[in-house]
Amino acid sequence: MSDHDITLYLDPLLGSTNSVKDKIFAATKLAGSIQFLSDSALDDFLAHVSLDYPRKYPEETVYQQVASIVLRKAAKLRTADFFNHFNRDFVRNEWPVLTYNEQDPSKVALIQIIFWVVKYKKPYVNTDDQWHASYKEDIKQLRELCFENYGVIASNQYWLDHFKKFWELLPDVKPAQAFTAAWYVIDSLAKMNLASPLMDPTTTPEIQLHISIVTRFWGTNDGEQHLRFTLFNIFERMHQTDRQCSPVLGALLTHVPLESATAAFNRIRTSPPEQFLKLGDTLQCLLDWLPYHWAKGFGALIVELMEALRGAHHEKLLIEATRRNIRSVFKLIMRSDRREDAWVVFLTMLLGYQHSPDAFHLIVPDVITVLNVVAREPAQRLLNDLSHAIQCCVFKFSGYPQLYGPIVISINKLGLPILSDEERKGFVDRVNQAKWVSGTAVTVDTSTNEEYLKLEPGSRVGLRNLVTVRCSRPTQAGVAEQECDAGYRLAEEDVRALSAGEKGTCSASAGTFERRQEDASEFLRLLFNKIEHEEKDDIKKRRWTGLSNATEEDWDPSKSVLEPVLGRCENTVQCSRCESLSVRRDSFVDLQLPFSEDASKGKPLDLTEMLFYALSTENLEGENQYYCDTCHGLQDATQALSIVDPPPESLILSLNRFKVERRVSNINSEAVHRKVKISTPVSIPSILWVPVIPPHDTGNEKERPSYGSGQQRREYEYELFAIIIHSGSSPDYGHYYAYARDEGEDTIDAWRQFNDSTVIPYTFDRMMDTISRFKDDTPYVLFYRRRGVPPVEAYDIPIPLKQQVAQAEATRDRVASDEYAKRSGSSFGPNKRSRDDDDDHTMERGDSWGDPNRFIY
């Protein structure tokens, strides 16, 4: 008989109209041919019978009877292969999740199969030591699973009736009478109600009596099993949706040794996903009980559960729990009786939630209050630790000076130690090891209820942070000025960021790279280059279709949408020997301004100096000699970059703040190259005079005066209208936000800070003061407009693009809503909260930055 004959005959046989007796007789005969199957065919056949039959035909008795016959024959005829197929992972991996008020025949059939598999191993365990160990492990796992699910089994007559039959097959796995008694005591505790939520359940005689009965079992020979049994039944009670979890169970938890809880949590790391959804409810319930004064030690218990969830890679549960609870946990630090527990939970949440500033920003409105309260009490060490954590988060999530400014002042006034740059960077390195997820590794709910970020009617609107900050900052800078007609060509993901709909879920945008910072200046150049190529492609298409005779070379920059930002430059090189000139003409959309060699010393620079440095004459000598075509060899030369008249209407200046630095390794003395950020302060003038020269006359090369001589040079006056800020000390991470002057206002000081969806008014002086105080928030891309050029009228997004975006928005929101509903319905059960119970106070805004020498970012 071939490998596949059994399945070919068996399944049609069981589906036929023959009598059950005939089917059983024929199936028994067929099962004898198992000994002739190859190893792979046997694996497939056993998987089919043990898993497909109970799932597809759970209520057809003949399939279960035949499965039992096949399993018994396989154990007898192919014993080694039987033990290999149903290895130590089979029992726990295939065990279904049992729930209250459920009657599921497929789960009953599958558990029946599991018990049969273990039962049919028993006759052969004394033949081989490995088989004996496999059988013992199966019995152990079955016993533990019965312990873990006993609360469900005992509460549901349907499950209880079936498990009584299963336990007759393997009596060793049936929970002892002591476990039954413990379950009924725990059930009684779960149903007890306190006269007041503030009442201490540990002082009530009746509750104390019940708790003492349960804890007495922990001192027996099976004490470890009783502890796990207690924990799992408490967790099951926390998950029940038909009743509110009683705090009395929390009183029982206070008696559980932490090491026992840790062991239990470590064991459940291998549980199926459905079990961890229950643990999400358990976590929320523990967090709800954390404020009670009797819940001493709950902090460590919550941290252990969070570590177990992290170890099992259920980061989404941790993220949702943190967003819901971090603010209320943080406020608990103000209570001396709950401070120790609240602190360890808060720190775990804060350090784990490092892929986004969301969690930190939720506590920002309360930081000053908490610092002041703790400062009035003898808790200096905790105050310092709290201050350090806050300072490091301000450093890690830099780029929000309007939120952090008052915190800076408060830390200064309290006289708390200020961390050095090295200490703050060390913190970032540590949290990168402890954080739950990377920036683009998980989809998270980005909705917020921060009152101080809500917009007033008619106010300016920012862009949602869709993990495309390097795109949105240039967009905000350009839209505020209404200068660049190319705004409609932005990617759809950035257009939908402008929509005013509800925030839902978001993930990494297309075109980003995980663990690499996207560059705003680079994005601008890529965007403008794309626009130029599209315009040239349009010329090609018109020529191919016969609508025009123009070629790609006929592209006219003056008719391009890039015309307002498009400038022309000349790069001239003059040989020092023959004085011949080489001129290369080019166009630019942004002018790159390098830092001088002395910039690394940190001495403040002026933008005008940097501009003239970029346009100054450079000597090409030594290793940098120039190859002169006239002299036919390498020669010393001078090189200069010049802006050609007429200059662009809008001048974009990019500061080259990122460079590759060469260092010698202390380990092996090899050269190491790394990218670093130049954080040298640069003074930004509101008015900039830009020198330009007339186009070069190629017919009189040698007679032309040098650029620096001042002859033929003309200066144009430019006004600053936008700045893109890079916030962060490293080129590998950080945040972008923008300042832009509002053209709708009459005064030159009508500036706005655009930071994700937040828009805050600024004066020019306050903006410059803020930039000078937060040293890691450095100007990166600057936008100037030539005086005398009228503003371009506001450009409206085309209707077809609006419709396309609206459709995409509707689809995305619908999918996000469905996913959120699924999570909400299964993640946290009756204990979930959409926000904390405390009143959210509006965060004060003000221009108070305190002593700049005490705490500078």
| Cα–Cα dist 163/238, whole Å | 23
Contact 640, 707 (CB under 8 A): yes
Q: What's residue 108's pLDDT?
A: 93
- Reading the block at residue 113, the tokens are 């199969």
Q: How far is CA 466 from the centre of its chain?
A: 12
Please count the other Cβ atoms lying within 10 Å of the Cβ belonging to residue 429.
8
Separation of alpha carbons 234 and 151, rounded Å: 9
Task: Establish how many alpha carbons lie within 13 A of residue 852's alpha carbon, considering only the half-sphere containing its beta carbon.
Answer: 8
CA-derived radius of gyration, the chain = 36
Neighbours of 132 (CB within 10 A): 14
For residue 112, the model assigns a pLDDT of 94
What pLDDT is attached to residue 176? Answer: 75
Q: How many CA atoms lie within 13 A of 481 on its CB side?
A: 31
3-class SS of residue 201: helix
pLDDT of amino acid 49: 92
Q: How many helices (H) and strands (E) does the chain have?
A: 30, 20
Answer yes or no: are the C-beta atoms of 355 and 437 closer than 8 Å: yes
What would the pLDDT profile of 592-619 be if each residue is shown by its tens digit?
Answer: 888 877 665 667 888 998 898 888 888 9
- DSSP 8-state class, residue 489: G
What is d(CA 547, CA 648) in angstroms, rounded to the nearest whole number?
Answer: 31
Assign 118 to helix, strand or coil: helix
Q: What residue type is 598 in one-letter code?
A: D
Cα 145 to Cα 132: distance, rounded to the nearest angstrom? 20
- Which of 46, 34, 228, 90 is closest to 149 using CA atoms? 228
Query: For tokens 């079990």, what's the residue?
Result: 275
Mean pLDDT by 10 residues, the chain (857 residues): 65 89 90 89 91 91 92 93 90 86 90 94 90 91 82 83 90 80 80 75 82 80 76 74 72 81 67 65 88 89 87 85 95 94 94 85 95 90 92 83 88 89 76 64 42 44 47 48 40 43 41 48 75 72 65 64 82 91 86 77 81 89 91 92 89 86 66 77 91 70 46 84 85 80 67 81 84 83 88 67 77 68 44 38 32 28
Cα–Cα distance between 227 and 218 in angstroms, integer?
Answer: 6
CA distances from 217 to 209, 235, 360, 428 (A): 13, 18, 44, 46
Query: What residues have CB less than 8 Å from 239, skipping those under 6 apart?
Result: 278, 281, 282, 829
* Helices 421-434 and 380-396: angle between axes, nearest 10 degrees: 80
Centre a 10 Å sphere on the Cβ of residue 11 and count the other Cβ atoms it contains: 15
